Amino acid sequence: MQKLRRGITAPKGFLAAGIHAGIKKPPLLDMALITSVVEGPIAGVFTTNRLPAAPVILDRRHLKRKVGRAIIINSGNANACTGLQGLRNAEETAQRVANQLGCLRQAVYVGSTGVIGPTLPMPFIQKGIPLLVRRLRRSGGREAAQAILTTDTKVKEVALEGSIGGQTIRIGGMAKGAGMIHPDMATMLAYLTTDIAIEQKVLQTSLQKAVHHTFNCISVDGDTSTNDTVLCLANGLAGNRMIRSRSSDLNQFQRLLEKACHSLAMQICRDGEGATKFVDIQVHGAKTNAEAKQIAITVATSLLVKTALFGEDPNWGRVIAAVGRAGPSIRADTIHLSFNDIVAVNNGEGCCASLERRIHRIMRRKTFTLTITVGKGKGSATVWTTDLSFDYVKINASYRS
């Protein structure tokens, strides 16, 4: 496994472009296009929000054909809560890309991120599409990754290669978002490309697993957006033997895919709005992995825990209180809690005050680990989170202008 320089266009046969189309203020890039030179299987995982945005509705429909050729994304407008007109605009966007590329509309996927409510400014999008197609190139990954950002402060890209069955295969990716974010800049979007030859059904299962272990384990503010989307497009140009559900090579691909998703997820979490701390929450000893994750997520989203992290306050009582309200039944006298290697709670009882100073020293670091043991079960989970700072409130309270 090796890191590559390029992002989304690192795998063979992928091109990308990003432009300023006019949705955001100039010179901000606001439209991106990713294409493969040939059609291939595509997999998708979408928001569980009951009120998905128009692009999510459209992508779910297109995914029934299981084949992808291009992904077009705009930032600055989420095309969410836009009713029937919103869906028509997403369809038109896909159709116009399809016309330019000479493929079916159903092979084009659409993503949007930005303000919820207003309809898409279609004239900008109509003019932008031919510009994007003309600009498509192997080195266009970086500008595409820039064009999907909203309140992000950093571009998020990944590219890895590995050897599968004697053939070199590559995975590229780009992402935006940090939980639900700016006043309206909702959304976590992540797009992955690979030149591996793989069955769509296997790709879909692999992506779901990878998302479960990576993107679904980061939490900035616990809000699930109307637009969250992860897509993975595979074009088979690496020339490996087709990966099927029982292929011995599948595990290797799964590891590579999870590594790419993990990298993007960590980049998102570290770029969380106003975040000053980046904390690993590990839960062990639960009855099941699901219960462990439920506990870890409850701790990660507790306002009291998050403000204590920001305040560097070794207030372990708040962690224990969050563990207690997570849902799973727990015996108090089985609980252990450590900050890195310092034990704060042992068999349910707190450490002496002198240790608090050492815990405080750990909390002054930018990153550290909270390890929580809740019994003798085999369930475990890891969740990554950030603190809740003055800047989070500032970023999210400011009146849109």
Our finding on whether 229 is near its own copies (CB under 8 A) is: no
Total residues binding its own copies (CB under 8 A): 69
Binding mask 79-118 for its own copies (x = CB under 8 A): -xxxx-------------------------------xxxx
In this chain, which stretch among 24-32, 60-68, 260-268, 301-309 interacts with its own copies, using CB under 8 A? Answer: 301-309
According to CB under 8 A, which residues from 237 to 296 bind its own copies? Answer: none
- Alpha-carbon distance of 120 to 102, in angstroms, equals 24
Give the residue numbers marked as catalytic. 187
Residues in the chain, how many? 401
Rounded to 10°, the helix 122-135/83-101 angle is 20
According to CB under 8 A, which residues from 157 to 196 bind its own copies? Answer: 180, 183-184, 186
Element (H, E) at 144: helix 141-147
288-301 per-residue burial string, b: 16 or more CB within 10 A, e: under 16: eeebbbbbbbbbbb
Query: What type of residue sits at position 292?
Result: A
In this chain, which stretch among 135-143, 148-156, 190-198, 386-394 interacts with its own copies, using CB under 8 A? Answer: 386-394
In this chain, which stretch among 139-147, 158-166, 286-294, 318-326 interacts with its own copies, using CB under 8 A? Answer: 318-326
- By beta-carbon proximity to its own copies, the closer residue of 200 and 334 is 334
- Alpha-carbon distance of 390 to 397, in angstroms, equals 10
Q: What angle do CA 98, 104, 107 make, to 5 degrees?
A: 85
Our finding on whether 216 is near its own copies (CB under 8 A) is: no
- Alpha-carbon distance of 241 to 334, in angstroms, equals 50
CB 233 within 8 A of CB 71: yes
SS3 of residue 182 by DSSP:
coil
Query: Shortest approach of its own copies to residue 288 CB, angstroms?
Result: 16
> Which of 30, 39, 221, 249 touches its own copies (CB under 8 A)?
221
Our finding on whether 348 is near its own copies (CB under 8 A) is: yes
CB 7 within 8 A of CB 158: yes
According to CB under 8 A, which residues from 118 to 137 bind its own copies? Answer: 118
Bridge partners for 283 per DSSP:
372, 381
- Alpha-carbon distance of 171 to 73, in angstroms, equals 19
Our finding on whether 230 is near its own copies (CB under 8 A) is: no
Query: Shortest approach of its own copies to residue 360 CB, angstroms?
Result: 8
Query: Shortest approach of its own copies to residue 205 CB, angstroms?
Result: 25
With 0-12 CB in 10 A as exposed, 13-18 as middle and 19+ as buried, what is 105? middle
> How far does CA 148 lie from the centroid of its chain?
13
Query: Shortest approach of its own copies to residue 83 CB, angstroms?
Result: 4
Query: Shortest approach of its own copies to residue 113 CB, angstroms?
Result: 12
Our finding on whether 318 is near its own copies (CB under 8 A) is: yes
> Which of 38, 201, 223, 378 touches its own copies (CB under 8 A)?
223
Our finding on whether 52 is near its own copies (CB under 8 A) is: yes
- By beta-carbon proximity to its own copies, the closer residue of 246 and 399 is 399
Our finding on whether 345 is near its own copies (CB under 8 A) is: yes
Spatial CA neighbour of 13 closest among 34, 32, 38, 33: 38
- By beta-carbon proximity to its own copies, the closer residue of 134 and 394 is 394
DSSP 301-329: H-HHHHHHHHHT---HHHHHHHHHHSSS-
Our finding on whether 311 is near its own copies (CB under 8 A) is: yes
Our finding on whether 365 is near its own copies (CB under 8 A) is: no
> How far does CA 396 lie from the centroid of its chain?
20
Spatial CA neighbour of 200 closest among 172, 231, 175, 160: 231
Our finding on whether 22 is near its own copies (CB under 8 A) is: no
- By beta-carbon proximity to its own copies, the closer residue of 117 and 130 is 117
> Which of 46, 310, 339, 384 touches its own copies (CB under 8 A)?
310
Q: What angle do CA 372, 373, 376 make, to 5 degrees?
A: 165
> How do beta strands 218-219 and 156-164 pair?
unpaired
In this chain, which stretch among 47-55, 67-75, 125-133, 154-162 interacts with its own copies, using CB under 8 A? Answer: 47-55
Using CB under 8 A as the criterion, which residues of the chain lie in contact with its own copies when the complex forms?
47-52, 78, 80-83, 115-118, 180, 183-184, 186, 221-226, 302-304, 307-308, 310-313, 315-318, 320-330, 332-333, 335, 345, 347-350, 360, 388-390, 392-394, 396-400
